[in-house]
Amino acid sequence: MSETSSSVVESPPRELPPMVYREPTLSERFFDRFFRGLTWGLAWMTVVLVVGMVVLISVDAWPTLRDSGGREFYSVVWDANRNEFGILTHIWGTLYSSLLALLLGGTLGVAVAIFIAEDFLPSKIRLFLKNLIELLAAIPSVIYGLWGIHVVIPALRAGLHYFPSLLADFSGPSMLSASLVLAIMILPTVTALSRDALESVPPRLREGAYGLGATRWETIRKIVLPTACTGILGAIILAFGRALGETMALAMLVGNSTARDNPLSFNPLLPGQTLAALLANNFPEASDPLQVGALMMAALVLLLITLVVNLFGALIIWRASAQFQGLRS
Amino acid sequence: MPARRIFAFLVLSLTLVGSAASPGCSGGSNAVDLQGVGATFPNPLYQKWFGDFHSAHPEVRINYDPQGSGAGVKQFTDNPEIDFGASDAPLSDEEIAKVRSKGRDLFMLPMTAGPVVVTYNVPNVPRDLKLSRKALLGIFLGKITNWNDPAIRESNKDNPNLNLPDLKISVVRRSDGSGTTYAFTRHLSAIDPDGWGKGPGFGKAVNWPVGTGSKGNDGVTAQVKQNEGSIGYVELSYAARDEKLGMITLENHAGQYIKPSLKSAQVAIDGVKLPEDMRVSVPDPEAKDAYPIVSFTWILVNKNYPPAKGKALKDVLKYCLTDGQKQCEGMDYLRLPADVARQVLQAVEAIQP
């Protein structure tokens, strides 16, 4: 044994392939530089793109804003024939429909995430479920819209038949129909990100809880969820950002109108309007510069809302992952 | 080496396609491509016309992109790549001035027309429910809110068996800007200049007093179909295609109740006089048998083109206004009246190639 090992030590070091020793050639060096520059440039380009978009939209929106002095923000009347471009109802509808969707989709999504992350199921089935839910994200928005029109609305109507007083208010396309479909659309976002948050809870916390005699339910409720809650909150906020910007399905389902006497209604059975649907509905036919300006302004408001929400969500997720850096290693 | 084999296959097939395509192209050294953008309403007819013309004249290729009337006007005005536009509403004076300010001049050529029908879904009510002008206005102004309203019963007094239910009326209208809305609101403004005209007025999108908005003709159709008690307006083909949808028989200018059909709508445009600028409209036709809501649709062309393009475009338009007109009826559109078509043809002749 020892003899062989010493012979190994004494033998001259095995010749390493020359590749390792060789200095990078000029072309390799050039390529490295070039590639570095390329990624650097492309990364900055995305920043330039976002800033450029904001600037261009603002430039187009400016004439309308200047002429009206910003009355768009508190007016509830959109009447292109009379150059009235109030977007307060649209801002309200955007936030309300998204919050409603978040309430439904968020609860469902987090529950699904717990179910998938906390080995209740054999791993093969878990994988299958996880992929199935992520597949929801691949369905085009217009398909969700059609599904809403032809399945969700008739189903809601059938359900509401048992409540005649509610049915009288129900208009078909409404905040409720839109939010229900929206809830399903944001499900993959909530589930995938919450699952990540749950799985990044350090195993030693879980083991410790079991060690102290906690039941599985207690562990999930008192240890896992509180630890993952920042990440889950981030997931929910990112999903909120997605819900705010959803266009096609909402344009098809939200009803695109508001009650005259109560434009900022909380009643989810009534139709509403959203900023994104307003844009989708009116851009193709808008030719008057004032109207285009008003639409640009609506776009800017939407952009700012989603930007703020997404930044907020990203910040929370970033803090959540930083929190566990020490625990995991 | 599957990758290499796939690559070889690709190269081979590309070569084959290239060689197959080249004889066609070599014959067309004088090939002309025409780009058009505009209204969705006449799109099926335009595609048929342009397709048929291309089959007969392979050297002329016409791309028509149905992005909407607004896009048609905008692109025709601003985008030099676009050879012709199309719109369901005639250009306003300002829009014309904008084209002229670019040193161009244009013709607005009416190409075809179509009726807008009011479609409804009321259980147990026969297909041909009648509505007087007053009742129609009342419903869309939100003043009449129930199907058993006296005004609706009054409109149908010649039908004693009719049992109008106690059911809330839900108005469905377009949420997107549209030529259909333009034609419908134009009619309402014409029959009620003080009420509707000074209220919502007319346009491709108006501020509706009541109702929910659905996207596109198909959106309105779907919602009316699913919703008992709803009423909406669509182009004829959408309601006629669907057996579950009733179409309202409307009262016209002469006080007659007219069923919507291509025939009764044709009557509405038959006597029409084409004004000098060809911005023709019949917001409230006077003929006794005329269906009251009919809208024209226009193709926008420059008065001057480079020679090859100008000639090709003139040939296409001439075909559409002569032989092409025979296609209209089969596709739920209206034929232009003979003397209108003749006048439009004269304008086409005046295009400078």
Q: What is the pLDDT of residues B24-72, one digit of tens each?
A: 443 445 789 999 998 888 999 999 999 999 999 999 999 999 888 888 8
The CATH fold of domain B3-114+297-349: D-Maltodextrin-Binding Protein; domain 2 (3.40.190)
pLDDT in the model for residue B26 = 38
Number of other CB atoms surrounding residue B292 within 10 Å: 27
Q: Is residue A38 part of a domain?
A: no
CA A105 – CA A90 distance, rounded (Å): 22
Cα-based angle A317, A321, A326 (whole degrees, multiple of 5)? 160
Are B145 and B156 contacting, i.e. CB atoms less than 8 angstroms apart? no
CA B291 – CA B182 distance, rounded (Å): 17
Are B180 and B69 contacting, i.e. CB atoms less than 8 angstroms apart? no
Are B97 and B91 contacting, i.e. CB atoms less than 8 angstroms apart? no
Checking DSSP bridges between strand B32-38 and strand B60-65, what pairing results, if any? parallel
Q: Which residues on neighbouring strands pair with residue B121, listed in sequence order?
A: B230
Q: Is residue A70 part of a domain?
A: no
CATH class of B115-269: alpha beta
Q: Is residue A73 part of a domain?
A: no
Residue ranges of A 276-305 with Cβ closer than 8 A to chain B: 277, 280-282, 284-287
Nearest to A285 among B68, B201, B230 (CB): B68
| CATH code, A254 | 1.10.3720.10
Nearest to B70 among A168, A260, A286 (CB): A286
Are B249 and B118 contacting, i.e. CB atoms less than 8 angstroms apart? no
Give the burial class of A73: count Cβ atoms within 10 A of its Cβ; 0-12 exposed, 13-18 middle, 19 or more buried: middle
* Length of chain B in terms of residues written: 353
Is B110 an interface residue toward A (CB < 8 Å)?
A: no
pLDDT in the model for residue A11 = 56
At B5, the pLDDT band (50, 70, 90 cuts) reads low
Instruction: Dump pLDDT digits (tens) for B7-26.
Output: 555 554 544 444 444 444 43
Nearest to A81 among B69, B201, B214 (CB): B201
Quote the distance between the C-alpha of residue B22 and its chain's center: 38
Average pLDDT, whole number, for chain A? Answer: 86
pLDDT, average across residues A217-222? 90
Q: Is residue A11 part of a domain?
A: no
pLDDT in the model for residue B238 = 86
Asked whether the predicted pLDDT for residue B155 surpasses 50, the reply is yes
At B130, the pLDDT band (50, 70, 90 cuts) reads very high
- Tell me if B176 and A157 make a contact (CB, 8 A cut-off): no
Quote the distance between the C-alpha of residue B198 and its chain's center: 25
Nearest to A285 among B170, B176, B223 (CB): B176
Q: State the nearest Cα–Cα gap between A49 and chain B, in angstroms.
A: 24
A13's tokens: 């070091």
Contact residues, chain B, for A277 at CB < 8 Å = 175
pLDDT in the model for residue B22 = 43
Q: Is residue A180 part of a domain?
A: yes
- Tell me if B212 and A271 make a contact (CB, 8 A cut-off): yes
Q: B16-41 burial by CB neighbour count: b if 16+ within 10 A, else e?
A: eeeeeeeeeeeeeeeebebbbbbbbb
Contact residues, chain B, for A166 at CB < 8 Å = none
Instruction: Dump pLDDT digits (tens) for B219-245.
Output: 899 899 888 899 999 998 888 877 788
Contact residues, chain B, for A161 at CB < 8 Å = none
- Which domain covers residue A291, as residue numbers? 87-328
- Whether B3-114+297-349 and B115-269 share one fold: the answer is yes
Q: State the nearest Cα–Cα gap between B333 and chain A, in angstroms.
A: 22
Instruction: Identify the CA nearest to B47 among candidates B240, B326, B324.
Output: B324
Helices (H), chain A: 2-10, 18-21, 26-68, 88-117, 123-135, 141-147, 153-160, 164-169, 175-199, 203-211, 216-218, 225-245, 248-253, 275-282, 289-323, 325-328
pLDDT in the model for residue B344 = 93
Q: Is residue A103 part of a domain?
A: yes
- Tell me if A256 and B214 make a contact (CB, 8 A cut-off): yes
Is A150 an interface residue toward B (CB < 8 Å)?
A: yes
Quote the distance between the C-alpha of residue A257 and its chain's center: 25
Q: Is residue A65 part of a domain?
A: no
- Tell me if B207 and A255 make a contact (CB, 8 A cut-off): no
Is B207 an interface residue toward A (CB < 8 Å)?
A: yes
The domain total for chain A is 1
- Tell me if A168 and B223 make a contact (CB, 8 A cut-off): no
Instruction: Dump pLDDT digits (tens) for A112-136.
Output: 999 998 878 888 999 999 999 999 9
Phi, psi of A321 (to 5 degrees): -75, -30
Please report, rounded to a whole number, the percentage of residues in chain A having pLDDT higher than 90.
42
Domain residue ranges in chain B:
3-114+297-349, 115-269
Is B211 an interface residue toward A (CB < 8 Å)?
A: yes
pLDDT in the model for residue B29 = 52
Instruction: Dump pLDDT digits (tens) for B250-308.
Output: 999 999 999 999 999 999 999 888 888 899 888 899 889 999 999 999 999 999 999 88
Nearest to A282 among B177, B212, B223 (CB): B177
pLDDT in the model for residue A239 = 92
Instruction: Identify the CA nearest to B210 among candidates A257, A86, A83, A166.
Output: A257
Q: Is residue A147 part of a domain?
A: yes
pLDDT, average across residues A31-60? 93
pLDDT, average across residues A2-10? 48
Is B178 an interface residue toward A (CB < 8 Å)?
A: yes
DSSP letter string, B40-108: STTHHHHHHHHHHHHHH-TTEEEEEE---HHHHHHHHHH-TT--EEEESSPPPHHHHHHHHTTT--EEE
